[in-house]
Chain A
Amino acid sequence: MLSYKFDWSVITSGQYHEWLISGLKVTIQLSISGILLSFLLGLIVAVMRMSHLKLFRWSACVFLEFTRNTPLLVQIFFWYFGSYKLLPTAVNEWLNNTGFEFAAALIALTIYTSAFIAEDIRSGVLSIPKEQMEAAQSSGFSYIRSMQYIILPQAVRITIPPLVNQFLNLAKNSSLAMTIGVMELTYQARQVESYTFKGFEAFTAATVVYLAISVIITFLVDQYNERVLQIHKGA
């Protein structure tokens, strides 16, 4: 016989419920800011990677190789345990008092994800006919302005499906932030488990919530995608 007694009330109400909710809030904060920042950084890196200027192209390549080819966990540890050693003591103290864990996790997630986003956007840009760039430049737009107004808006639309994958990865990868003490959803589920020994309930709750986050992100991007792309079908 199964000796384990399920007790879902642990996670549906009371103190432990509060813990999980506060963890969810942190996960959402981390995911949304990570998605926005990594998209922005990804755009910049993609444009640099395609620039005519060797210096830009070269530094973008180095950035991409470093970030894509090292484990995210190592990067999180680097920013949390490593980076602050380069800063003055006063700044260090200030950081320690203002929740540096969250910032370090956000920086690591943003940088890591932006590398993948940059490559997705770059392949989107390469799929735009070169005549679009010619049309833009013959109107007098510089390379950067042509990218900004004509090429990237088209490329990003094409890139939306792979971008959704990167956004989902970021939301799921945010669970690694628990390793440096960010009190996000996985961290709190772990806490609930150690206080109550209700590991099944706690992690079932976490699983369901992650699933819900992913479904919502996919739904939102799909909606946006459909609204914007509908008009251009057959272009």
Chain B
Amino acid sequence: MIQFTNVNKWFNTLHVLNNINLQVKQGEVIVVCGPSGSGKSTLIRTINQLEPINDGKLIVDGKDLSDKSTDINKLRAEIGFVFQQFNLYPHLSVISNITLAPIKLRGLSKKDAEEQAMQLLTRVGLAEKRDVYPSQLSGGQQQRVAITRGLAMKPRIMLFDEPTSALDPEMIGEVLAVMQDLAKSGMTMVVVTHEMGFAREVAHRVVFMDAGTVLEEAPPEEFFCNPQTDRAKQFLNQLLTPMHGATCN
């Protein structure tokens, strides 16, 4: 589904992605973690070309991103992206936020798009918020709407860039529950997050990054209980709630 081969990226002289090799298969849930500045956000943003790569090969859903003939807008429509800061459209109501792209890009009728949006809103528990504006919602609610906006395009891949980092602690759970539900439904997901409980429960693999390189790549049990590098050990020790260690023998 997603294939990084020797991918490199620089911001001027800063080498933000250093020879990345990574494969994500259909239906897999990958959690990317690591200290801030390690390049994990940049990594996930290259997948829908919010950040173009400088070198190497990146294939997403069968399309080579460096190939000039790849229609990037068409590809992006197949990839849902959830931002740390939600980035809902403040001038549109919840329902319009969700139906805008399906109507304009998929050619759905307003009625069909709204019907589908209401099903999704019900699934995330926000059906009664259809006509309010983003500024009237809490952070957790906004993020659930943002996830719904992504899902409304029936994407083949969902990308999450620190979806809970801007939320108050008591709102993190409601967003993670939606993501967990989504993971169980078989969606291909790449999630940048510090929520190790989530990683442990739903990830198929955890990718640990530092200084632009992938240092470790392992199933969650293995990564949390038996990290191979000192950098990963240090990182895991610094997490305040050692949930990840709870069931290690």
Residues on A facing B (Cβ under 8 Å): 129, 131-132, 134-142, 145, 149-150, 153-154, 157, 231-235
| A139 and B105 contact, Cβ closer than 8 Å, known pairs A232-B133, A232-B135, A235-B134 | yes
B241 interface residue, CB < 8 Å from A? no
* Smallest CB gap from A136: residue in B: B89
* Contact across chains for A131 and B133 when beta carbons are under 8 A apart: no
Nearest chain B CB to A132 CB, angstrom units = 6
Q: Could you say which of B79, B91, B105 has the most chain A C-beta atoms within 10 Å of its C-beta? A: B91
Report how far A150 CA is from B48 CA in the complex, Å: 19
30 pairs of residues in contact across A and B, judged by CB atoms under 8 Å: A131-B83, A131-B85, A131-B87, A132-B89, A134-B87, A135-B81, A135-B83, A135-B87, A137-B73, A138-B79, A139-B77, A139-B100, A139-B101, A139-B105, A140-B73, A140-B74, A140-B76, A140-B101, A140-B105, A140-B153, A145-B104, A150-B89, A153-B91, A157-B91, A231-B133, A232-B91, A232-B133, A232-B135, A234-B135, A235-B134
B149 interface residue, CB < 8 Å from A? yes
Query: Contact string, B85-123, partner A, CB cutoff 8 A, digits 1/0?
Result: 101111100000000110011000000000000000000
* Smallest CB gap from B96: residue in A: A149
B50 interface residue, CB < 8 Å from A? yes
12 additional A-B pairs beyond A137-B73, A139-B150, A139-B153, beta carbons within 8 Å, are A131-B85, A132-B87, A136-B89, A139-B149, A140-B74, A140-B101, A150-B100, A154-B89, A233-B135, A234-B135, A235-B90, A235-B134
Report how far A37 CA is from B74 CA in the complex, Å: 34
* Smallest CB gap from B75: residue in A: A140
* Contact across chains for A140 and B133 when beta carbons are under 8 A apart: no
Residues on B facing A (Cβ under 8 Å): 48, 50, 73-79, 81, 83, 85, 87-91, 100-101, 104-105, 133-135, 149-150, 153
* Contact across chains for B77 and A140 when beta carbons are under 8 A apart: yes
Report how far A122 CA is from B61 CA in the complex, Å: 36
Residues of B within 8 A of A132 (CB): 87, 89
Nearest chain A CB to B224 CB, angstrom units = 31
Nearest chain B CB to A35 CB, angstrom units = 22
* Contact across chains for B104 and A141 when beta carbons are under 8 A apart: yes
* Smallest CB gap from B90: residue in A: A235
Nearest chain B CB to A206 CB, angstrom units = 40
Tally of A-B Cβ pairs under 8 angstroms:
67
Report how far A132 CA is from B48 CA in the complex, Å: 16
| A235 and B133 contact, Cβ closer than 8 Å, known pairs A141-B73, A141-B105, A142-B73 | yes
* Smallest CB gap from A142: residue in B: B73
* Smallest CB gap from A231: residue in B: B133
Nearest chain B CB to A86 CB, angstrom units = 41
* Contact across chains for A232 and B104 when beta carbons are under 8 A apart: no
Contact pick for A137, options B50, B74, B89, CB 8 Å: B50
Interface pairs A-B: 10 shortest CB-CB = A140-B77, A235-B135, A235-B90, A135-B87, A138-B81, A139-B101, A140-B76, A131-B87, A140-B73, A234-B135
Q: Could you say which of B50, B73, B74, B85 has the most chain A C-beta atoms within 10 Å of its C-beta? A: B73
Nearest chain B CB to A155 CB, angstrom units = 10
Report how far A138 CA is from B90 CA in the complex, Å: 17
* Contact across chains for B101 and A141 when beta carbons are under 8 A apart: yes
* Contact across chains for B135 and A138 when beta carbons are under 8 A apart: no
Report how far A165 CA is from B104 CA in the complex, Å: 34
Report how far A142 CA is from B101 CA in the complex, Å: 11
Residues of B within 8 A of A150 (CB): 89, 100
* Contact across chains for A154 and B153 when beta carbons are under 8 A apart: no
Report how far A232 CA is from B91 CA in the complex, Å: 7
Residues of A within 8 A of B79 (CB): 138
Report how far A234 CA is from B142 CA in the complex, Å: 14
Report how far A129 CA is from B105 CA in the complex, Å: 23
Residues of A within 8 A of B77 (CB): 139-140
Residues of A within 8 A of B81 (CB): 135, 138-139
Nearest chain B CB to A182 CB, angstrom units = 39
Report how far A145 CA is from B77 CA in the complex, Å: 13
Nearest chain A CB to B178 CB, angstrom units = 18
Report how far A138 CA is from B82 CA in the complex, Å: 9
Nearest chain B CB to A235 CB, angstrom units = 4
Residues of B within 8 A of A233 (CB): 135
